[in-house]
Amino acid sequence: MKIELLDKLINETSQGFLGNETLVKDFVFAFVSGLHVLVEDISGVGKTTLVKSLAKASGLSLGRIQFTPDLLPGDITGLSIWDPIKREFVLKKGSIFNEFILGDEINRASPRTQSALLEAMEENSVTIDGITTLLPNPFIVVATKNPSYYIGTFEMPESQLDRFGVKLTPGYPSKLVEEDILYNYRVINPLDNVKTVTNKKSIIDLKNTVSSVNVNKTVLEFLVEIADRTRNSNNIKYGLSTRGLQHLLRFSQCVAFYDNRDYLIPEDVIYSSKKVIPHKIRLNNESIIDNIEAEKVVKQLVRDIKIPVGLK
């Protein structure tokens, strides 16, 4: 069954990234929902290990891009290079032409360089010298991000942030988990424990099954109401975009699927809103000065909406 494949991906990713099972589950949910993922936290808490664990478990080709201040857009997408033998320009493909992209420390590169991902993340293609080339299917970008107060980081443009369907924050592991990490990984690499449990075709089939989860009209209205509340909140300058609303629906469908249902209920949406919305909105200046957190604003506005009942 396809739900067993979802469990395998979660369990196998957990072999490389110890602790925080909810985080791993949300990461896999986003992956099979076809959403790009942003993982933000301080250095050394396992962001890259988390990403590489799922990449290995999925069996997809991994392309790693180490973002630095001197990285250029062409280093990501590739370049047209003159071939003296063929006497023509040929495309030298960049790391973006893989199925699973790890963008490490994305905000250490300038917004201009980050913009090289915009077309790829939205349209699954890149344009080089006026020629558009399709990217593989499936295609996912998972970027790790340092906190904005880190030295040598750039702000991420809103257009870039909005293309990431989900933002995750690992946090520090518990004491017991850290003891396990110290003991189990004192000799071996944590990725040595991760096995490949699926393939490209199975992942595509799983994504199609998740996207076919039925959505009642009343739940659709609930989704749209959430988006509308973000656009009319006294705390929010820029609310949830239509693209962000689509991301919310897709993640919610996976939550329902994992709960062994072929239909969506409001509780799926409420859970998903915490993962999908906060990084996609921008608080107004007053809220920022008052140290109000986007997560708390989203939680409250969703709580204020009357929840539909008796749906199937």
pLDDT tens column, 24-61: 999 999 999 999 999 999 988 899 999 999 999 999 99
- pLDDT at position 311, please? 62
Strands 88-93 and 78-83 come out as antiparallel
The two tokens of residue 61 are 């080709």
Q: Is 64 found in the same domain as 48?
A: yes
Q: Is 260 found in the same domain as 157?
A: no
**310 falls within a domain:** no
Q: Is 198 found in the same domain as 256?
A: no
- pLDDT at position 91, please? 81
Last residue of a domain, one of 177, 205, 233: 205
- pLDDT at position 299, please? 95
pLDDT < 70: residue spans in the chain:
1, 310-312
**43 falls within a domain:** yes
**134 falls within a domain:** yes
Q: Is 7 found in the same domain as 137?
A: yes
Q: Is 146 found in the same domain as 27?
A: yes
Q: In terms of residue numbers, what domain contains 270?
A: 212-303
Q: Is 256 found in the same domain as 159?
A: no
Last residue of a domain, one of 181, 205, 229: 205
**311 falls within a domain:** no
- pLDDT at position 230, please? 97
Say how many C-beta atoms besides its own lie within 10 A of residue 131's C-beta. 10
**58 falls within a domain:** yes
pTM for this predicted structure? 0.93
**265 falls within a domain:** yes
> What CATH number did the domain enclosing 243 receive?
1.10.8.80
**235 falls within a domain:** yes
Q: Is 236 found in the same domain as 154?
A: no
- pLDDT at position 272, please? 98
- pLDDT at position 85, please? 86
Q: Is 277 found in the same domain as 222?
A: yes
- pLDDT at position 69, please? 94
> What CATH number did the domain enclosing 116 receive?
3.40.50.300
Q: Is 217 found in the same domain as 187?
A: no
**244 falls within a domain:** yes
Cα angle for residues 79, 145, 299 (degrees, 5° grid): 130
Q: Is 246 found in the same domain as 172?
A: no
Q: Is 155 found in the same domain as 18?
A: yes
Number of domain units in the chain: 2
Q: Is 192 found in the same domain as 58?
A: yes
- pLDDT at position 130, please? 85
- pLDDT at position 89, please? 80
Last residue of a domain, one of 189, 205, 221: 205
